[in-house]
Each structure stands twice: as structure tokens, then as C-alpha cells.
Structure 1
Amino acid sequence: MGIERLEQIKITDDDITWVESIMGFRFNNDRVNIIKNLESIDVQAFPGSGKTTTLIAKLAILARKWPYNNSGICVLSHTNVAREEIEERLGNTDIGRKLLAYPHFIGTLHSFFDTFVALPWIRSKGFCMNMIDSDVVRKSRWYMLPRGTRVYLEKNYRDAQICSYNGNIGRIDWDKQGETRQKILEAIQKSQSDGNFTFDEMLLYAKQAFDECDSLPVGLQQRFPIIFIDEAQDTNSFQWELIHKAFPEASGMTIRQGFGDSNQAIYNYVNEIVERPAFPRPSPLLLSESKRFDNRIAHLANTVAISAEQMKGTENDFSGKQSSHTLYLFSKDKVGQVIEEFAQLLLDTFSDEELLKNKKRGCHVIGMVHVKKDETTEKQFPKGIYDYWPNYEARRTSKSINPNSLIEYFRMGRFEFEKNNELCAQIEWIAKGIRRLINKAKGQNLIAATNNPFLSIIKQFPEEKQLEIRKDFYVLSSADISKEEEWQSVVSILKDILKGLDLTINEKVKEFIAWTNENYFSCNAQEAIPQVMPNHYVFEDKISERCVDLEFGSIHSVKGRTHLATLVLETYSKAHNMKAILKYLCNKPPKSVGSNHSRLKCQYVAMTRAKALLCLAMPIEFVDDKAQKSLQDTGWTIKVVD
């Protein structure tokens, strides 16, 4: 029984009308053609083109017409976004509930191969199942090793990551034969006999099942005659191998459709070279019209697209503004002004009402490199987001209070102490503030964000000075800061701390340590504490007193999101990112992409987030007069930061 059984399912214009009525969405001809298509074909969908909405509409129609009780529709992705979208849009309908139940499967690639392949196979070998968790399982195996073995492995630059199969069952990341290898394998085998596996090991057992059980693909194809792969561009080579083993196209038993955007494959094929990616297959269907932005942004983003197809934009509420999509060129000593220039442009472009209305989308500053691992050399500058804004903290991703002045950190510490009587919490808040103070005085992220800011500060001082600094912190924790003159005594101690690091007071430090009498942290008004996301920068125009909030983050962190406005920063990873692809940005691409695939894809993701305003920032020395002219001809406004 093959896909001929699906021939009785036809998607008609009446079905389109029905699904539009329940989803409240009108589909144009391109989307209608994709919804109606029931062949094995891929869909190349550009950013903001309504890919997920189109797929969900198709699933709703298929579920409504589905005649089988023991075979179903399969939807695979890397996250549960598709399932969550169905729950949100169709969860209250009979169709939605039908889609999310047997015989259909909507979930991640890992959960599919675990449920239908790896788990039954592992149990058939006599294993029980207790836990699937890579970090926890590897760590438990690591501590099963004798201490001497762990010390030896650490000297050879190995850690808990070595405690799992790699590539094949029985293979580990240790080529040497001998006692060490045997102990690692014994720890893995003991762990698995207790029912503990890593996520990747589950996929390896799935591969073993396919290699040793020829009937397995036949059963899967009978169970799922139609399969959709969402975000198909993020599927790596090993995952494609499993998909092809489970649903071989040559069998003619399954319809397979992939939905995604090859230009946004920034998670795909990590550390592997792929000459012919599995997605998209030749002659894909296209969703080329973005509903996110207009043709001006679409044209700028098309310059860095890998695919031959061109994206189109759609007029929106902001198109009439004719926003100045700006390339900021700065000398390296002016790098700190780039953020302020962008913020001022936002205030000049958007009204307060527009900023408030689009608060959820927000205004974002992003870069490819954002984690600080070491100091930035002169050749590398600017290396990461932290070189533009020293207060950026890559590890902080949850909501917290982020005071704007140092005294607010002290008040928050006092609030925590009075509320919980915990001195350590008070010291932590004071240390957070002093860390920011030191970074402002240094003009760069000298002390990175850690779980113990107090210890991070102490380590900056010679050992003979550390006891003195500890005493300073004790004095600061008990200091009275209720009056301005008392705060000045605190400032004197802070100046001595800075002096110990050969740092002095600059204008930004003066502003940060200035006395304010606003007390946001009274114990009786906890709701008044301003809840501010970390890595947010609030810019205020001193003349108009208008403010705009900027959110900082990596390019990877904003994939799939829509912004009101985006600033993309030049960063360095083996080379400066935008400098390496400057010819593409100038709309004069070289004949060969060469080694720039990943840079172009990251840049494409970054340049397709903004609904209304797109900006870039690069050192002026990277862009000569000829390149500036080409960039202007492409559609960029050039702004030299001076």
C-alpha cells in the first residue's frame, strides 16, 4: 500500500475558503498552490513570507479530510514551534485536537526517532529506559571513572564530553587503545545498562536499527504516508541520513515536503563541509513575498542571499516614511558613539506612539560574535558586541533588575538584606554595580559577567591587595547612603578601588556614580522596582528628553523574530564578518562564494529581521570611497560617525 491511497484526497477552493475562515487569514495564489500541492517537493520560503501559517493551513485541511485510523500525517522540526502554533491557532477546534492526537505525529526529529525507532530497538536489546539527557548522563559517567583516569584525560584536554558514543555505537573520541579507553567504554556501558542515554546516542541506535532491520522503513512508511519537515534548512547531514533511511524516496510509498529557507541555515551542517545540501531539492515551490518588510529592505537583504531566487517585499505602515537605512562608518576611537547614533536615528524616525505600539518587536543591536573569551587585539577590533558596549553580558538571558546608576545597586543590595537578612545577596548587588563601574572606567568589558561578580573583582587585584579589597566591600555593605554627603564617602572608597586598577574617573563614570535621591527600592513598594531585561540600553535625547530602549544580542538569538529596527555590528571571527562579504553588500558579488557561506547566511538572517529600519556599522578603514559609492547606489545611506 503506497501513496496511491492519498489520491482520494484532493484540496479544493472550497477547502481554502474554509481554512481561511477558521484562521482569519487570506492566502494569495502562491500560498494556495503550495497548500494544494501533494507531491514530493520542497518549499523555499523567504523571511516573513507566512511559511508556518501556510503549513498549518495545509495540515488543517488534510486532518479534516483524513480517512485513515491507523496511519497519519508526520510533521518534523527541530523545535516544537509547529506544534505550539497549531495549539495556539487551532487548539480550540476539533481539527486542531485531531491533528495533535493519534494517528498523527507532530514533534521534533529527536522525539520522532526516539519514539518510533530507537526506544523499541533499545528495549529489544534488553535495555531499560531511565533517562535521556546529554549533560547529566555524560557528567554521571565522568564521575564513574577513577580519579586518576579523569586527571589523565584532563591533561589530554578531554572532559565529560568524551563519555558518550561518537559517530557510531562503540566509538568514542579517544583513539588510543589500552586501559583508559576500556574504562571509558565500561562507564558508558554501565550507564546504558542502567537506562541512561545521551540524545545523540539515541540517534545512533536509530541508525543501527535501520542498518540491521530492513523491514523497519516499510512499517514507518505505511504508518506515515505523508511527511513534512519544517525549518528543513537546519537539518544536518546525519539527520537527513536517518530521514532518507526511514522514508526513501525511491520506494514511492511516502510524500515528503520540506519547508524552509536555505539562506537561513545558520544551525545547519556545523563543522562539516556539504557540497550538495539536501534542502531544497531542485525546482522548489517559492514563497518569495515577505510580509515583514518592503522592497527596499528586501533589495538590501537580497545582496547577501545564497539562493538564486530573489525575495520581494510588501508595502507596510512604515513604507511611506522612506526610512534612511544607514551604514555607520566609524573610526575605531569612535566605536562607542555608534549605539548613540543609531538610537538618535530611531527617535528621529519613529514617534513615541510608534515605539510604544511596536514595543514587543523592539529595536535591536546584534552581532555574530557576542561571547567574550579573551581580550580583543588591535587587529581584531571590533571583535564582539562587548567592544561597542562594555556592559553587554552574553550569559545573561533572563529577566532581572538592571539599575541605571551605581547607588541604585547599593539600594537594591540594602533592600535584599532588609527583606531576607542575607548579607551575601547584598554583597552580590554591590559587586554587580562595581563591576559595571570598573568596565565603564576601563572603556571595555574588563570583568566579564559571572555567577560570582565579587570573586571576579577580587581576582583583578594582586594577592597581597585582595584582603584590603575584601575589607572595602565590608565597609561598603554597612555604609549609610541615605544622604548625599554620606554617599560621597562611599565614592571615595570606590575611587581607591579604581586607582588600584590604574583606572580614573571619566565622564561616563561620573554620571554612573552621581547621587540620585530617587529610591526605587523601598521595602513597601516592591512593585515599583523597575523590571528591566539585561542587555538593554536606554538612550535619552537630552534636548527632547525622549527615550528609546535597545536590546542587544547575537544573530543566532534573533532568528525567527521580527524587529521594528535592527543595527548589525561588525564583529570578528577569523576575519571581520562584513569586511569579508563587502562585495556582496555592494551588490557586486564575486563569481564564487568560497568560504563565505556561513558569513552570508548569518548576515542574511541579521538583515531580514527589521520591519521598518535596517542599519549596519563598520570601521571606516574597511570601506574605501569606491565601495561607499557602490553601497549608496545599492540603497544605503552613509553616515560617518565623528
Structure 2
Amino acid sequence: MPDVSPLVPEITDEDIEWVCHLMGLDTPDEPRRAFLTARNTLDVSACPGSGKTTLVVAKLAILARKWPHRTKGICVLSHTNVAREEIQRRLGSTVVGQRLLGYPHFIDTIHGFVNRFLALPWLSSNGYPSPTIDNDVTTAYRRGVLTTADYWTVQNFLSQKYSGFDRLRICARDLSFDLGGKAFPANPDAKSFKLAKQAIETAAQAGYFCYDEMFIWARSLLEDTPDVASWLRRRFPLVLLDEMQDTFELQGAMLHAVFPRESADIVVQRVGDPNQAIFDNAEADPDKSDPFPDPNPARKLSIPNSYRFGSKVAVLASPFATTPVGAIGLCGIGPKAIPGAPIACGHAIFVFPDNSTAGVLDAYGKHVLTMFTDGALTEGAVTAVGAVHQDASDVAPGHAHFPKSVPHYWSGYTAEICRKEPHPRSLVQYVRAAQAVVRDNRDLAPGVEKIASGLIRLVGHVGDAGQLKRRARTHRAIIDALATDAAALAAYRQLVKALLIDWMPLTQPNWGVVRDDILAISRALCDGAIIEANADGFLAWSADDPSLHLGAPASPSDAGPNVYRVADATRHVDIRLGSIHSVKGQTHLATMILSTYWHDHSSQRMLPWLLGAKVNVDGAGIRDQKRLLQTYVAMTRPSHLVCFAIPRSVFGDDQARADSVAKLQGRGWQVVEM
């Protein structure tokens, strides 16, 4: 394989100066410059807060400016549309930004690429209708194929096997199926098997599929027409894979099949952080077929210094990295100066009684108030996160597993709204999720996308959304689909404005008013007639989730969705609670890691690393490696202050606790006994 591809333009010092001026960037250091100028297959391990996405966008801007090919493009793939959104935000008004977002380039999610270039062509050529790709809608359609009695025959049988109807997945091109990788627990002659087969096959013939099932059709196209992979390599001589650590086995196998890194005719550059490889899907298997980063030193590059936080946070977090960061560990060269925020904060561990978490959030909030002025608190979020965040009301104080989950620290917490990608069951919950993300992130775009996603799901319920199904960008897809219907387009724009800009109160009467407009928009988006009755459940008003409410708080401590308010005299701070998964990729002002229970108390297992007795994997088993990844992600969110909440019994008897406290204080922690 050549060191440098002649198809990728050379990037010079002048190009780097140009993009730094265009994007308002500081002059890059050597590792970042090496990535910008690289024209060969390469893996880049970039630590949290290293400006990875900005660096990727800067490189793309230079390449777009110098790209010499009219029919060959750059393919940028990730798990979310962060790169595309960053291009639109930073370069949207520039010529190079517009070039990147159109032909011959392709910037989208891995699923978007698989659908567009592989799965959809195979389905179309094999007589399937334009598909609806959505787990919930597809499950609902499969359920509707069966009578109520037949559905419960399957569901009750599967529940006895610790599974469910919603786990049904097509696993081969002949429409054979399993339960998400596990065999269906009945033979083909069993009634439950026959009913499940009927549901799967009928829904498939109507074009209803789950997200991961699209990889089946993609693989089928590669089997039937192997030349497709070589055609795609000719189309995309440069492939940039972002957030590579999040790639799981199914995705990795497909990427390797189309863009093998050993191929001499393409350049594949993978960017990510192996120490942040935590998966939203607990059952996802990491991609082991082509490890990231590449073990060959000549094919990898490390960016170990973070602009997000300073040296003290870096020193505290570095031992939790499963893969050592750089030659000397994680480096902190931040944070940015914030008036009223000290560079040297009092990183603290709050030790609470085993049978009571009362006061933990209040103590943390008051500690934050002593650290930061009100002005500083407006500059970033204050959060408290745990690895486990689902309801655990069956575990009471005094139970050996207590505290098991985030709700044990505040009963007002609800798991659904904090998911990194909330997938509500009704349109009103989509709107609440959209309003929450706009409020929390101060960015309108993800809220607009969330409302657009809800509308497209609605269309899938009531009619044929054929004109939308092949589009990757939900909001843009709706705008384009309504281009010839001025009234519906105006209604859609007014709906978004009312909900996300004017902040129309989300009350039952107001929902009744906008419901007719929503149905009119969905009617305009459908190809042909719609069945409005199918929308009744999805459009129904839902007031059974008070933590999603954005109106007046239910209590002095309830300041919004999953936001706990701590007041001290005339001041207050709002603490946003969530799962560790939900805050991945975010930057906070302060973060507290809450001890939760999964096969053991997380703080119990992580204590040796906190005390400095262990570093990196250091003999950690599979479960502890997951805990290390989660702890590292959480500890590297804050720019200024990191805290822990730990049950007293984790430290052992009084003497052991005293010894541990002394060691923690020696490592720079304040220890607060509650």
C-alpha cells in the first residue's frame, strides 16, 4: 500500500493557515497538524475535549477547496450527524461548506450509507416496496398482522423465555428470523413460530423493517453483485470514519467489506477514542474484526491533550483509561477562562450512609455554589450521572443493591427523556424531548430534527411516506416534500416556530389546537390517502410523565425535565441528572458520578483506581473494563469540577475508611462525610 494516495490533494502550511483564519482556530500543534496533512490510511486516537470534530471539519474544508475530482468524492461516516451539523454551523455560509454537503461527497451516518448505497437498491431490485425503516412502527405493523389473541400467544410464550415480540428480527435474506441474535425458542411446527413467521413475512412484503435488518439486504447486494464494493471505492477514494470506537460488529463487518483498509486504491482514516467505547445498546458487540486503533505504530496517531479541562482533572481521570493515553497519560491544557470560575477547583467525594441518599444532590449543589459565581454557572451545565438510570423502585433503602439507579438519588427522575437518542411513544413526547434538548444545549437544530422525526413516524402510522423514506435528513426531507404545497409548508414552519421559538405552553387545550395542523401536514407528506384513525394513539395527549413537563415546576426542587434545583440563601444551581451514556460527547462545568449497582456497586469496583492502587486495565475483568470506560467518559465531561458520590460501606471498617480518606486527600480529593 502506498504511503500517500495521489487521489487525495496535498495539504500545505498555507492551507492550514487559511482554514484557521476561516474557522477562527488556534495554530494546531504537531499531532493535529499531522492529522490535517495525512494522505494515507491512518487511525487517530483523540482524547476527550481535543477538538476532534472541529479538526475533522477543518480537514474537510481544506480538501473541499482543493478537491480536483468531479465524480469522485469524500465519504464521511459516523453514528450521528455531528460532523454534518458542525459543517453547517461552522461553514454553512461558505462555498467550501456547500461543496461538502453535495455531490460527489457523502456525509451521513453509517446506517444512512448502508441504506442508500446497498440495502435500498437491493430491496428495490427484488420487488419490495419503498420501505418504512423504524423499529417501533415495524413492530406495530407486525403486531397488526395478527389477531389480538394470536399476538398474545406469541408474546406470552416469548415473555416466558425472557424475551418479547418486539425482539423479533429478520436474520437472513430468506426472511428467517431470530430474537436479536438469539434463536427463536420453538420449532417450526409450533404455533408461536408459525404466527411469528406470518407477522415477519407479511410486514416484509409491505416494506416494514427494523434498522439493523437493513444490513441483511446490504449484505445480500454485496453477495449478488460483488462489484458494488469496487464501484463504491472508485466513487470514494477517501473515507473518513468518525467516532470509530462506537462501531459495533454488524457495522464493522459491513465497513470492512466495502472499504477494507488494506486496499491500495482508497485511503481510510478512522478517528475516535478507544477509551470512550460505551454502547447505548447493552447487547451490542464491539467490532473486533479490525481493532481500533491499529496496533501498527506506523498507522496510528495520538492526540492526548485536551482543551476541555486542566491538568488536575486529567491526572484524576487518566488512570481510568483502559488504553493508555499518549506516552505520559492524559494531558489537560484547558480549560478556557471563565470569570467567576477558579482554575483550581475543589474536586470532591461525598460519602453518604448506605441506606440513605438524602442530601447528596443538595451537598453537591452547595459545593458547586461555593466554587462558582452566578455568572460562571451560566457558562456550562452542572450534572450528576450514573451508569444505571432505569426505574429501580423494587430496591428500597437497606437493600444490598441500594442505591441501584439514578432515581434513588431523586425520585423525580425519569429515564426516557435523558436517553441520548430519546425514542418517545407519542408525538407530544417527541415535542417535549425537542424542547428539552433545545433548552439544555441552546441549539435549535437538534430540536427541529426531533420534531421532524416525530412527524415522519406519524406519517408511517397513517399512510405511505414513500417520498420521505430514502432521505437521510428529516427536517430537510420534510421541507423538500412540502415544496409544492405552500399551505402545508407554512403550517409546518409555524408549528416549529410555535413549539421551539415562541415556546407555546404544552397544555392539553393547546395540543388539541395544533393537532389539526399536524394531521394536515402529515396528509400532505403522504403519497395517497391516509387513515387518520391509525394516528389516534400516537397523537393522543399524554400527561402521565411529569418529569417531561416544561411548564411550572411541580416542586421547588423540580426545575424542568430531570433537573434538580438546589437553593442556598438567595442563590441556586440547577443539576441536570442523566445516564453516563446520555452525556457522552458533552462538555459540562461540573459533573458528579453517582454510585449505581450492576453486578456490584460501581464505586466498590472503581475504588482501587480512585486510590491509585490500579492504573488502566491492570487485570480488570470484562465488567470492570466496562465500568472503567463509563467512569472515564463521565470524569472527562467537566471543564472545571469533578465529584463522586460513594456509599460509606464501600470503604470498609472505620480504620480502612480513614486510610482510604487519607490516600484520596493525598491525591487531591476533598472528602465530605455526610
TM-score of the aligned structures, taking structure 1 as reference length = 0.76
| Pair 1:25–1:610, CA change in 2 (3 A) | same
The answer for the alignment partner of 2:401 in structure 1 is 380
How many residue pairs get aligned? The number is 524
The answer for the alignment partner of 1:483 in structure 2 is none
* SS state at 1:581 partner: helix
In structure 2, C-alpha distance between the alignment counterparts of 1:117 and 1:453, rounded to whole Å: 41
Q: Does 1:291 align with 2:307?
A: yes
| Pair 1:564–1:4, CA change in 2 (3 A) | closer
The answer for the alignment partner of 1:300 in structure 2 is 316
Aligned residue among 614, 617, 620 for 2:648: 620
The answer for the alignment partner of 1:164 in structure 2 is 169
In structure 2, C-alpha distance between the alignment counterparts of 1:82 and 1:594, rounded to whole Å: 34
In structure 2, C-alpha distance between the alignment counterparts of 1:297 and 1:365, rounded to whole Å: 16
In structure 2, C-alpha distance between the alignment counterparts of 1:61 and 1:327, rounded to whole Å: 46
Aligned residue among 382, 388, 398 for 1:363: 382
| Pair 1:169–1:240, CA change in 2 (3 A) | farther
Aligned residue among 177, 181, 203 for 2:188: 177
When the two chains are superposed, the root-mean-square deviation of aligned CA atoms in Å is 3.0
The answer for the alignment partner of 2:621 in structure 1 is 594
- The question of whether the paired residues in 2 share the 8 Å contact of 1:328 and 1:639 is answered with yes
| Pair 1:234–1:75, CA change in 2 (3 A) | same
| Pair 1:171–1:22, CA change in 2 (3 A) | same
CA deviation string 1:365-410 (max 9, x = no partner): 111112214411410111112222222232345358xxxxxxxxxx
Give structure 2 stretches of 5+ with no counterpart. Answer: 179-183, 419-431, 437-504, 513-540, 652-656
The answer for the alignment partner of 1:611 in structure 2 is 639
1:506-585 to 2 correspondence within 5 Å?
532-542=559-569, 545-585=570-610
- The question of whether the paired residues in 1 share the 8 Å contact of 2:142 and 2:199 is answered with yes
The answer for the alignment partner of 1:108 in structure 2 is 109
The answer for the alignment partner of 2:275 in structure 1 is 263
- Measured after TM superposition, the shift of residue 330 of structure 1 is 1.4
In structure 2, C-alpha distance between the alignment counterparts of 1:301 and 1:57, rounded to whole Å: 28
* SS state at 2:198 partner: helix
In structure 1, C-alpha distance between the alignment counterparts of 2:511 and 2:106, rounded to whole Å: 51
In structure 1, C-alpha distance between the alignment counterparts of 2:561 and 2:196, rounded to whole Å: 41
1:149-548 to 2 correspondence within 5 Å?
149-156=150-157, 157=159, 159-166=164-171, 169-173=174-178, 174=184, 175-178=186-189, 179-267=191-279, 270-271=282-283, 276=288, 278-282=291-295, 283=297, 284-309=300-325, 310-316=329-335, 317=337, 321-356=343-378, 358=379, 361-377=380-396, 378-396=399-417, 398=432, 399=435, 453=544, 532-542=559-569, 545-548=570-573
In terms of mean alpha carbon deviation, does 368-377 or 87-96 score higher? 368-377
In structure 2, C-alpha distance between the alignment counterparts of 1:197 and 1:113, rounded to whole Å: 14
| Pair 1:551–1:139, CA change in 2 (3 A) | same
In structure 1, C-alpha distance between the alignment counterparts of 2:79 and 2:619, rounded to whole Å: 31
CA deviation string 1:235-288 (max 9, x = no partner): 101100000000123331211111111111111784356594622112321111
- Measured after TM superposition, the shift of residue 87 of structure 1 is 0.6
In structure 2, C-alpha distance between the alignment counterparts of 1:59 and 1:249, rounded to whole Å: 20
* SS state at 2:99 partner: helix
| Pair 1:633–1:416, CA change in 2 (3 A) | closer
* SS state at 2:305 partner: coil
Query: What amino acid is aligned across from residue 12 of structure 1 in structure 2?
Result: T
- The question of whether the paired residues in 1 share the 8 Å contact of 2:306 and 2:334 is answered with no
* SS state at 1:537 partner: strand
- Measured after TM superposition, the shift of residue 3 of structure 1 is 9.8
The answer for the alignment partner of 2:482 in structure 1 is none
| Pair 1:355–1:320, CA change in 2 (3 A) | closer
* SS state at 1:87 partner: helix
The answer for the alignment partner of 2:56 in structure 1 is 55
In terms of mean alpha carbon deviation, does 320-329 or 258-267 score higher? 320-329
| Pair 1:180–1:32, CA change in 2 (3 A) | same
- Measured after TM superposition, the shift of residue 591 of structure 1 is 3.1
Q: Does 1:122 align with 2:114?
A: no
- The question of whether the paired residues in 1 share the 8 Å contact of 2:369 and 2:573 is answered with yes
* SS state at 1:6 partner: coil
| Pair 1:151–1:28, CA change in 2 (3 A) | same
- Measured after TM superposition, the shift of residue 417 of structure 1 is 10
- The question of whether the paired residues in 1 share the 8 Å contact of 2:8 and 2:39 is answered with no
- The question of whether the paired residues in 1 share the 8 Å contact of 2:404 and 2:597 is answered with yes
The answer for the alignment partner of 1:640 in structure 2 is 673
Give structure 1 stretches of 5+ with no counterpart. Answer: 401-414, 423-449, 456-519, 522-529
- The question of whether the paired residues in 2 share the 8 Å contact of 1:142 and 1:163 is answered with no
Query: What amino acid is aligned across from residue 412 of structure 2 in structure 1?
Result: N
Query: What amino acid is aligned across from residue 176 of structure 1 in structure 2?
Result: N
In structure 2, C-alpha distance between the alignment counterparts of 1:190 and 1:259, rounded to whole Å: 41
* SS state at 1:379 partner: coil
Query: What amino acid is aligned across from residue 562 of structure 2 in structure 1?
Result: N
In terms of mean alpha carbon deviation, does 52-61 or 391-400 score higher? 391-400
| Pair 1:145–1:237, CA change in 2 (3 A) | same
The answer for the alignment partner of 1:11 in structure 2 is 11
Larger Rg: 1 or 2? 1
Query: What amino acid is aligned across from residue 115 of structure 2 in structure 1?
Result: D
Query: What amino acid is aligned across from residue 166 of structure 2 in structure 1?
Result: Q
In structure 2, C-alpha distance between the alignment counterparts of 1:547 and 1:638, rounded to whole Å: 23
- Measured after TM superposition, the shift of residue 113 of structure 1 is 0.8
- Measured after TM superposition, the shift of residue 167 of structure 1 is 6.5
Give the % identical residues. 34
* SS state at 1:143 partner: helix
Query: What amino acid is aligned across from residue 280 of structure 1 in structure 2?
Result: P
